[in-house]
Structure 1
Amino acid sequence: MTTFSPSPASLPLTSPDPIPARLAALKTTPTPELKRQWRELFESEPPTFNRRYLESRLAYRIQELAYGGLKPETVRRLEALGEQLDGGNVVTRRIRADLRPIAGTRLIREWQGTEQVVTVLPEGFEWQGRPYQSLSAIARAITGTRWNGWVFFGLKNHRRAG
């Protein structure tokens, strides 16, 4: 008589993977609980970003801890690609390319009765014939006080997140 021995692949799972259920639960988890999980998983205080950011970062971290993170060679490759794209310029790296006005765009703002015109360059900005790395530096030069340049030129609403 022959006995049947099933292959491991055909055996039913005795305990299903709990990670997908844990990820799905993030959508309905109260924000204070998300922040508690953040403290537990990241061993730091949660950032003041919006709920969606907390959910996405927690989901990534849960999977990273359960299944492993990126391989070191993948991290090195991504860093090298980032350097190629932004040349190591931290200012450029912080500005999402899809939010930055295209080169040649003229930003116009009236300040104390005088029209201020800024031209967007491929690698920065130009105001009164001088190059600047940031809009905030130009806003400071115009007003004499610290301003978020994106808010000053109307590119970002300072009252909303993101």
Structure 2
Amino acid sequence: MNKPDTIPARLVALKTTSTPDLKAQWRELFDSEPPPFNRRYLESRLAYRIQELAYGGLKLETIRRLERLGEDLDGGDRKKSRVRADTMPIAGTRLIREWQGVEHVVTVTADGFEWQGRPYKSLSAIARAITGTRWNGWVFFGLKSRRRA
């Protein structure tokens, strides 16, 4: 385990660490393969994990409270509870897709997406507005392959 005074230095170093090295740290700290998400996600999760290992994690009472709040949010809906929170890109992420020579930029927001200054609840609605046809928005923006869609 690291001395506590080296923790801030490790956190700062994450910003300039190469992506392959971030993934190697992930494997070391989580004992699993890193998820296929953007660099910012890796940095934030690694920063949390480094601090968790050095200073301790959440108190059991806090974990239980968060679980209760989660149950309140999904209302016991099994389908909602199976959806992993980390499947949604981080708020602020920009999704860029070229369609018929025009570049379209969608920004992920806390409660959905924004395209051309308008809020949308789903990527599929944006894909439909862009193409005029029905699309799986996750496939259209390259977040999911057609085979898994």
- TM over 0.5, yes or no? yes
Structure of greater relative contact order (alpha carbons < 8 Å, 6+ residues apart): 2
Larger gyration radius, structure 1 or structure 2: 1
Q: Give RMSD over aligned pairs.
A: 3.4
Q: Provide structure 2 residue ranges, at least 5 long, that are not aligned to the other structure.
A: 89-109, 113-119, 145-149
CA contact (8 A) 1:50 1:161 kept: no
Q: TM-score, normalised by structure 1?
A: 0.53
2:54 aligned with 1:70? no
Identity %: 66
Match in the other structure for 1:56: 44
Runs in 1 of length 4+ with deviation above 6 angstroms?
Answer: none
**The 10-residue stretch of structure 1 (15-24 or 59-68) with the greater mean CA deviation from structure 2:** 15-24
Within-5 A mapping of 1:14-29? 17-29=5-17
Q: Provide structure 1 residue ranges, at least 5 long, that are not aligned to the other structure.
A: 1-14, 102-106, 116-138, 140-146
Give distance in 1, aligned partners of 2:143 and 2:70. Answer: 25
Shift of 1:50: 0.7
Aligned CA distance change for structure 1 residues 46 and 16 (closer, same or farther; 3 Å): closer
Give distance in 1, aligned partners of 2:30 and 2:4. Answer: 25
**Counterpart of 1:70 in 2: which secondary structure?**
coil
CA contact (8 A) 1:26 1:55 kept: yes
Give distance in 2, aligned partners of 1:59 and 1:71. Answer: 18
Shift of 1:80: 0.2
